[in-house]
């Protein structure tokens, strides 16, 4: 199986030993407490789950700025997005001390992790904006990722963490949430060596379904990992439980057994386009995948990124050998009326726009809200039924 990124073995920050975890939980009661923002809590979950291997914890300012500018830490590790614990202030914390990190997304705000604070630093306005421009490619306050980042504070607490739990994800998504090491174990059990991952924050329509088949066949993989984001999204996006139900129904009805593995990860969407696509590749490698499908406007939002910027970044900014995982480049995929099947548009040069069944997201939401199913060439009827129920409620 493919090696993790940056290390020979996976170094998840979750405290595996139950007795050690219980002792740390008890000790955390006497530590100074900081309630994380949702982004920092999601980073803790990803560190604990092994997805952010080999990072030991939150980055310091020098690493954050270096990653933003060059996609390398000061120590030479390739990494596309700063992994930070930002807060408004930390008056009772001293470098070298431990602090209990409390979960903002669970009632009662229980301790999620314990951090050994190596440094307390403040990002200047210029430094914060450097991160914004380089990571998100825009400083527009209307960009959801930019708005979220700017609202997190400017005091940076860096240092390694020990993770005690995985927040609300195992409870809310018991059949779907998995750590990187659990996915690796499942691949081994299934005998999968070559696996292509499909990233999604949306329900899968026919085009997504067929894209997974195309990649599976073209690459000769043993299986497909449909890996969905389970964390926070912008207003208007389909909730994770609805998306989960749609994907499970599609796979159950339309894929042969032991072709697709459905899984999810506990992270908040960044909407950072190309940089987030590279991050997706990093943590899919950590989960044991050999390939990642990178499609049109991968991880994008609005009109902030070019249609294929998330592919060209791998050519222009990711150095050869920086990652072991490979990307599968997908074009816009749609149902061809001429060929009576889903195709990538680049593979149908004799087609005009009218030869495809194309529906905007706005049009699809409008139809579903009215209780109308999109054409079966666009969306499987079983999936449409679940989405109509969501919009009706």
Give tens-digit pLDDT for 111-153: 999 999 999 999 999 999 999 999 999 999 999 999 999 999 9
């700025």: which residue's tokens? 65
Name the domain count of the chain.
2
Yes or no: say if 186 and 261 are a contact pair by the CB < 8 Å rule. Answer: yes
Is residue 202 one of the residues assigned to a domain?
yes
| Token reading at 282 | 């990093």
User: Measuring CA to CA, which residue among 88, 69, 90 is closest to residue 80?
Assistant: 69
> Is residue 10 domain-resident?
no
Looking at the structure, do residues 110 and 207 belong to the same domain, yes or no? no
Q: Residue 26's pLDDT is what? A: 97
Please report where in the chains the tokens 């697709």 appear, as a residue: 260
Q: Tell me, yes or no, whether 235 and 381 share the same domain.
A: yes
Mean pLDDT calculated for residue range 68-88 = 97
Query: Which CATH number do you get for residue 303?
Result: 3.40.50.620
Q: Is residue 11 part of a domain?
A: no
Domain-located, residue 3: no
Q: Which of 137, 167, 197 is the last residue of a domain?
A: 167
Percentage with pLDDT > 90 across the chain? 83
| Final residue belonging to a domain, choices 106, 141, 167 | 167
Per-residue tokens: 122: 């403040």
Are 116 and 251 part of one and the same domain? no
The encoded tokens of residue 127 equal: 């430094």
Does any domain span residue 181? Answer: yes
Domain C-terminal end among 147, 167, 187: 167
Q: Is the pLDDT of residue 236 over 90?
A: no
Nearest to 67 by CA among 297, 341, 274, 275: 275
Residue 309: predicted pLDDT:
96
- Residue 92 inside a domain? The answer is yes
pLDDT digits (tens, 9 = 90+) for 180-189: 999 999 999 9
Q: Which two tokens stand for residue 14?
A: 């979750």
* Per-residue model confidence as pLDDT tens digits over 296-349: 899 999 999 999 999 999 999 999 999 999 999 998 888 889 899 889 888 888
What digits encode the pLDDT tens for the residues 33-71?
A: 999 999 999 999 999 999 999 999 999 999 999 999 999
Q: Which domain holds residue 92?
A: 18-167
Both 220 and 309 in a single domain? yes
Q: Verify that 229 and 369 share a domain, yes or no.
A: yes
Active site residues: 201-202
Q: So what's the pLDDT on residue 344?
A: 87
**300 part of a folded domain:** yes
- Asked whether residue 117 falls in the same domain as residue 209, the answer is no
- Tell me if 5 is assigned to some domain: no
Q: What is d(CA 393, CA 387) in angstroms, rounded to the nearest whole number?
A: 10
* Pair (243, 355) in one structural domain: yes
Asked if residue 356 lies in contact with residue 336, where contact means CB atoms within 8 angstroms, the answer is yes
How far is it, in rounded angstroms, from Cα 298 to Cα 315? 15
pLDDT digits (tens, 9 = 90+) for 149-169: 999 999 999 999 999 999 999
HSE of 79, CA atoms in CB hemisphere, 13 A:
24
Specify whether 352 is located in the same domain as 205. yes
Q: Check whether 274 has a pLDDT greater than 80.
A: yes
Is 314 in the same domain as 374? Answer: yes
End-to-end CA distance of the chain: 44
Q: What are phi and psi of 50, to 5 degrees?
A: 90, 0
Is the pLDDT score of 256 beyond 80? yes
Residues 298 and 217 in one domain: yes
Core vs surface per residue 8-42: b (16+ CB within 10 A) or e: eebbbbbbeeeeebeebbeebeebeebebbbbbbb
Give the model's pLDDT for residue 1. Answer: 87
What is residue 355's DSSP assignment? Answer: G
The answer to whether residues 228 and 162 belong to one domain is no
Q: Tell whether 144 and 25 lie within a shared domain.
A: yes
Residue-level pLDDT at 272: 97
């Amino acid at each position: 199986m493919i090696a993790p990124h940056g290390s020979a073995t996976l170094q998840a920050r979750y405290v595996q030993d139950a007795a050690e975890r219980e002792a740390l939980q008890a000790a955390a009661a006497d530590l100074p407490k900081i309630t994380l923002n949702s982004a920092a809590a999601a980073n803790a979950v990803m560190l604990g789950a092994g997805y952010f291997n080999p990072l030991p914890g939150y980055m310091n300012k020098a690493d954050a700025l270096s990653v933003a500018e060059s996609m390398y830490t000061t120590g030479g590790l390739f990494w596309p997005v700063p992994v930070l614990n930002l807060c408004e202030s930390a008056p009772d914390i001293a470098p070298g001390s431990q602090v209990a990190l409390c979960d903002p997304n669970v009632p009662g705000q229980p301790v999620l992790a314990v951090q050994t604070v190596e440094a307390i630093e403040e990002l200047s306005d210029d430094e914060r904006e450097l991160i914004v421009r380089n990571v998100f490619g825009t400083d527009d306050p209307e960009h959801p990722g930019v708005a979220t980042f700017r609202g997190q504070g400017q005091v940076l607490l860096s240092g390694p963490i020990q993770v005690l739990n995985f927040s609300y994800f195992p409870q809310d998504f018991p059949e779907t949430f998995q750590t990187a090491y659990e996915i690796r174990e499942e691949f081994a059990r299934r005998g999968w060596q070559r696996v292509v991952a499909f990233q999604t924050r949306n329900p899968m329509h026919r085009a997504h379904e067929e894209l997974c088949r195309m990649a599976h066949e073209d690459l000769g993989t043993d299986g497909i990992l449909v890996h969905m984001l389970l964390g926070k999204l912008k207003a208007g996006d389909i909730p994770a439980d609805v998306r989960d139900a749609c994907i499970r129904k599609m796979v159950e009805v339309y894929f042969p057994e032991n072709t697709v593995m459905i899984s999810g990860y506990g992270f908040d969407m960044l909407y950072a386009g190309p940089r987030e696509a590279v991050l997706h590749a990093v943590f899919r490698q950590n989960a044991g995948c050999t390939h990642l499908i990178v499609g049109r406007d991968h991880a994008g939002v609005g009109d902030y990124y070019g249609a294929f910027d998330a592919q060209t970044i791998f050519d222009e900014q990711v150095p050869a050998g920086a990652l072991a995982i490979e990307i599968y480049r997908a074009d816009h995929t749609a149902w061809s009326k001429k060929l009576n099947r889903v195709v990538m548009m680049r593979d149908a040069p004799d087609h005009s726009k009218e030869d495809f069944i194309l529906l905007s997201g706005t049009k699809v939401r409008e139809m579903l809200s009215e209780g109308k199913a999109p054409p079966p060439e666009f969306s499987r009827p079983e999936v449409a039924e679940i989405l109509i129920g969501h919009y009706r409620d």
